[in-house]
Amino acid sequence: GNTARTQAVHQIANREAMPPKAPERLEDIWAQNVFNLNKMQASLPKTVFKSIEKTITNGEKLDPSIADAVANAMKDWAISKGALYYAHVFYPMTNQTAEKHDGFISVQKNGNVISEFSGKLLVQGEPDGSSFPNGGIRGTFEARGYTAWDVTSPAYIMETDNGATLCIPTVFVSWTGEALDKKVPLLRSIAAMDKSASKVLKLLGHEDVARVNSSCGSEQEYFLVDANFATQRPDLLLAGRTLFGKAPAKGQEFDDHYFGAIPHRVQVFMQDVEEKLYKLGIPAKTRHNEVAPGQFEIAPFFEAANVASDHQQLTMTVLKHTAKKHGFVCLLHEKPFAGINGSGKHVNWSVGNSTQGNLLDPGDSPHENAQFLVFCGAVIRGVHKYGPLMRAAIATASNDHRLGANEAPPAIMSVYLGTQLEEVFEQIKAGTVSDSKKKGVMDIGVDVLPPLSKDAGDRNRTSPFAFTGNRFEFRAVGSHQSVSGPLIVLNTMLADSLDWIGNRLESELSNGVELNGAIVTVLKEVMEEHGAVIFGGNGYSEEWHKMAVEERGLANLPTTADALPCLKEEYIEDLFKKTGVLTPVELESRFEVYAEQYILSIEVEAKLVVSMAKTLIYPAAVEYLSTLSSTIASLTDLGIDLDKESAKKVADLTNSMLAAIGKLSAAIEKHDFASTREHMEYCAQTIRPLMDESREYVDALEGEIADCFWPLPTYQEMLFVK
């Protein structure tokens, strides 16, 4: 029998509860581990503080003459918190967070040591970048990459059980200045969006226009599995998802988990996570059970995109670390369990500034309404024009399991506006909204928009990109992804659309058309060209999949192999080039890196399917068959007949499984491909189906073999035992 599994269950059942901890006051712990403006003000000379404050608000470069003073204050603060090391933290193209640690230690001539941290070390680091994917930007012989502090994102202390590290969020560039990370393009996309948005705001009559930034609040879904089970599953350890596993008798069909009472042990875990996040200045705000058993969600209050993105990375790190401490493994994979809802990350996104506020908020005056419609129109144009790029931004081997299944938005990009707003745009298109006051006709810039009721309904849930009252929610993003990629795309396409709208408005105005008329004309054009992307129906339905492609001409890109090649299209290259967000070389490198990651993750999983089937499942089947067959033989000797069918069935399934993994092993051996694209397609169309085929037999075996012989913790155990 399988003792490891039984032991795991015993260990969980007899688990001692985490010792209770006195709750701390939010005000006492808030941003305790962040070197924020308050702490700078307390520790820096006034002139230095003023200078850095200005740098931060305007997103400028740090004045080198004050770097030493800032570094010194930061070091003293970090040492007072127990740090001996500092780390430049950066965000390579892998969705991970990377860090290089260095000691403050400096050895003197006399052999004594002192702590040292100069402005130069704060501002610039030199990690050996050779082992980070760069998509061919640098050969390893010129492996030098530079990290530089992103002053707009504050330094913080990462605590571990026996120490602390000062962490400095940085950009990561090659020695020739090319972006090797996700932060540089994000900052550039914000700058591009700011430029176009400011231009439009000025055309709309604003004189005082502050820097426009984008905001992001992301909802993170995740699974918790007891570590006693997870460590017995090679697939969870190496691939982050189960490659085999028969559906349990009970899944999520009772809908009894969603928003149900949070299991006690999980709530203790969540509170621990939240306390750590508060200390890091991350405004965690909501927590709840998700749809699937064992699935949960955490969401913060929204922040400026660039800080929100760093904080999101930190949140994923904190979730994983804290889970370990509580005897869980936190799974951020998009589809850890087949047949049960997967995890996404809803990226709530808006743009705004301190002078005009949230530009995606309809507001309540005619002027604000008109402005809102302009920005909303820009988004509609962007999604229509660059839908495939949005799809590419969320394309990973793991997210492909989710998109297009009936639990997550489809792999077709469309916009959900809600009934009322959709109607307004339809009227603009039909010409029944105008600048001339006819009876019963809405006059843009003069009349007030009908109040938009917030659709809390199910419909927007099936949309990949939904307007939710004062922001858009990109719902198709994967749970393990960095939010930077999606934010870069949203900001960049908005920059492009606003630029186009700005130019069109300008030309209308210079022809003597007054502002409201110009707005109506331009929005009508947007709707005529791009209105096909608006869809308020059920995004999961077959009819939509058909209609979207056949009638509306929208792209359905079900796999990463279909989606990523769009990065090679000329109009995408132009978009990034003209907005200054990515050079053609940088864009090309992203295609190469993401494609390689897709291929590698499928290859790793395929190898794992083969090895688990051979070394875990096959031996279990044989052991069971041996017991069964000797029992049948002994009984026959005694003149008793035991049905032989079940032995035959196990033997047949085992043979079919061996045949399937034989085909899969052979398929993995193919290495000659004409292009990366062909290799990706091979993974999607040949390797994946063979993995599915192998799985079918393994899962069927799980239903036939005596439970005590089964080597892997079951879905039932992993999802329901807490």
Q: Which residues bind ligand ADP (CB under 6 A)?
A: 215-217, 219, 286, 299-302, 348-350, 358, 470-471
Give the number of residues in contact with Mg ion, rule: CB under 5 A.
1
**Choices 176-184, 290-298, 310-318, 339-347 (CB under 5 A): range interacting with Mg ion:** 339-347
The phi and psi torsions of 471 (rounded to 5 degrees) equal -165, 165
Quote the least distance from Cβ 465 to Mg ion, whole Å.
12
Please list, in sequence order, all residues whose beta carbon lies within 8 angstroms of the beta carbon of residue 131, skipping any fewer than 6 positions away. Answer: none
- Of the candidates 599, 616, 556, the one whose C-alpha atom is nearest the C-alpha of residue 685 is 599
How far apart, in whole angstroms, are the C-alpha atoms of residue 481 and residue 501?
A: 31
**Single residue of 265, 326, 346, 695 touching Mg ion by CB under 5 A:** 346
Residue holding tokens 């069909």? 253
| Residue 300 partner contact from ligand ADP, Mg ion, none using kind-dependent CB cut-offs of 5 to 8 Å | ligand ADP
| Residue 299 partner contact from ligand ADP, Mg ion, none using kind-dependent CB cut-offs of 5 to 8 Å | ligand ADP
Quote the least distance from Cβ 76 to ligand ADP, whole Å.
34
| Residue 343 partner contact from ligand ADP, Mg ion, none using kind-dependent CB cut-offs of 5 to 8 Å | none
Strand 465-467 to 295-300 pairing: unpaired
Q: Which is nearer to Mg ion, 204 or 216 (CB)?
A: 216
Q: Which is nearer to Mg ion, 127 or 217 (CB)?
A: 217
- Compute CA distances 261 → 273, 287, 549, 644, whole Å: 18, 11, 42, 47
| Residue 259 partner contact from Mg ion, ligand ADP, none using kind-dependent CB cut-offs of 5 to 8 Å | none
Quote the least distance from Cβ 299 to ligand ADP, whole Å.
4
Q: Which is nearer to ligand ADP, 165 or 214 (CB)?
A: 214
Other C-beta atoms closer than 10 Å to the C-beta of 308 total 28
| Residue 464 partner contact from ligand ADP, Mg ion, none using kind-dependent CB cut-offs of 5 to 8 Å | none
By beta carbon distance, the residue nearest Mg ion is 346
Q: Which is nearer to ligand ADP, 300 or 713 (CB)?
A: 300
Quote the least distance from Cβ 302 to ligand ADP, whole Å.
3
As separate numbers, helices (DSSP H) first and strands (DSSP E) second, the chain gives 24, 18
Q: Which is nearer to ligand ADP, 216 or 582 (CB)?
A: 216
Quote the least distance from Cβ 416 to ligand ADP, whole Å.
13
Q: Which is nearer to Mg ion, 466 or 705 (CB)?
A: 466
| Residue 74 partner contact from Mg ion, ligand ADP, none using kind-dependent CB cut-offs of 5 to 8 Å | none
- Compute CA distances 119 → 169, 170, 401, 447, 656, whole Å: 15, 14, 46, 56, 65
Long-range contacts of 558-561 (CB under 8 A, 24+ apart): 558/400, 558/403, 558/404, 558/411, 559/395, 559/400, 559/411, 559/684, 560/395, 560/396, 560/397, 560/399, 560/400, 560/594, 560/598, 560/680, 560/684, 561/598, 561/677, 561/680, 561/681, 561/683, 561/684, 561/685
Q: H or E element: which one contains 682?
A: helix 676-682
**Choices 54-62, 129-137, 322-330, 341-349 (CB under 5 A): range interacting with Mg ion:** 341-349
Q: H or E element: which one contains 528?
A: helix 515-530
Q: Which is nearer to ligand ADP, 145 or 217 (CB)?
A: 217
Quote the least distance from Cβ 668 to Mg ion, whole Å.
39
How far apart, in whole angstroms, are the C-alpha atoms of residue 190 and residue 170?
A: 16
Quote the least distance from Cβ 286 to ligand ADP, whole Å.
5
Quote the least distance from Cβ 533 to ligand ADP, whole Å.
21
Contacts with Mg ion by CB under 5 A lie at: 346
